[in-house]
Structure 1
Amino acid sequence: MKLFQTYDSPFPTRVRLLLYAKGIDAEIIRPPGFGATAESKAEYLNVNPIGRVPALVLDDGRVLPESEVICEYLEDAYPTPSLRPTDPWERARMRLLSRICDFYVVMAMVPLFNFAGRSRRHWEMQAIYDASGKVAEALAYLETFIGSDGYAVGGALTQADGAIAPQLVLASEWIPALFGTPDPLASLPKLAAYWVAIQKDPIASRLIEETREAIAQQQAAAREMAKQAV
């Protein structure tokens, strides 16, 4: 089994959560054309024509893209230990939290991703602050539904933790550090408490550190490319 992914993208993180928690052995491959690079994605498009990460390649060569779909497959194929709550309501809430991340939090961050790819002299600070406010609004949706027992749902890791944790690295650490905007968790006590608690879980902590290290590496690579372009 092979997982094509990058460590700085929040989407493959939820897949790695299942791999780590279930002890599934998979070769991790970073495809060309992602991040601060001049490489083409052409080779990767032969694997996943959608051109996004992650993509899971099974031992028989079949390819499955899209993180949520991959997670559902892994849960069905490797049911123990389960990262889906047994209670139908809690399972629905797990899926709701993941959906909020994908459709609200990530979309609110897109303008900030775009500004991060520009030189600082082309930043529009009012637009950046407006986008940061939209991120805070999206995080407030998570605040409404997040659990209070140290995990996103219930008292154990679920797929929702893999969706939320990397988003909070971006929203609470990367965005404020890069743009000088306020930490949105300051006004979201339930989400802030979750953020402190989830970092104590060994698997979640591993995912968070991988995300932090990958973001730092990509920022360094972007700075180096900018120097060479001068």
Structure 2
Amino acid sequence: MGQPGYLRVQLSPRGSLDDFDHWRLESFKQTPWATQQKYFTAIDDPDPTKPYRSEVVYDINNVDAVDLDKLLQEWSSPRATMTLLLYKRLDFAAHRGKEIPPDDGIVVVNSLTPENNTEVLEDYHAWYRTEHIQKLMQIPGWRTGSRYQLLDQRGECAEYAGPFMAVHQYDRENGLGGSEWTKSVVSEWTKKIDMRMAKRPHRRVFKIDRYAIF
């Protein structure tokens, strides 16, 4: 059995938005190495550090089966700038019966860059698995959470991607910013982790436009 993972296709339109949307929804088809596909549109505030406002993402059953150079050649279009990012999965958690994303769900993506030394990385992994994910699961509307390590990337690479990434799905109505969310970000262990980040977390928020299960 292969290493599960995640493929992000980050997109920014060139020219007509209508042409871009039609191309986006028609050009990314089922692939033999994917188990699920989702289409995202950004709902966070635009700024120069967040140039990609659309994504097509794939849950992958075997990262070794993914050829980024081939995909970039097949998918490149004058309708969009594009970056492909390939990750291997480190962790997955879900509330029972909540694995399938809701049609109007919210996805929060955090790109993280801990200091690159063994002690810091071991503490980061332990913090996430022992404390952080447990607190996130208490937030109203939380559905699933996955954590990944970046393997490779191709394309424009116009937006920062850290070596680690967390992806959490929520219902449209959720407790982000509320009391349970606050508990997840103010613990002493979390403060220690934050102090040992080499770069500030890069946070994105998307809505789910549609999804397919293969």
TM interval, shorter chain, is 0.3 to 0.5
TM-score where L is the length of structure 1? 0.30
**Larger helix fraction of residues:** 1
TM-score where L is the length of structure 2? 0.32
Using CA pairs under 8 Å that are at least 6 residues apart, name the structure with larger relative contact order, 1 or 2: 2
